[in-house]
Amino acid sequence: MAGNSNLHMSRSDKADEFYTQLPLIENELKHYKEHFKDKVVFCNCDDPYESNFFKYFAINFNSLGLKKLIATCYIGSPIANTHQININGG
């Protein structure tokens, strides 16, 4: 099991992060802002409340000129309805 010991350790390490980090998303998608105007963005994610892609598009909804943002997941979120994302820049 030495080949996947990192995976076994990460199971118990709650600080371990498998999601794409928000700064990386921001840094890449800043080059494509004009392509999102009047578009519908669909995020198929494990949990939209944890997805940094959903968070990026929600926060930047107005500045990107999005028409609609849709997120879906297949299970209930353990943190649903426990916090809000303010898409008005604040």
Average pLDDT, the chain: 79
Residue 56 has a pLDDT of 96
Residues in the chain predicted with pLDDT less than 50, given as ranges, are: 1, 89-90
* DSSP annotation of 69: E
Q: Is 55 exposed, middle or buried (CB count within 10 Å of its CB: 0-12, 13-18, 19+)? A: middle
**Amino acid present at 52:** N
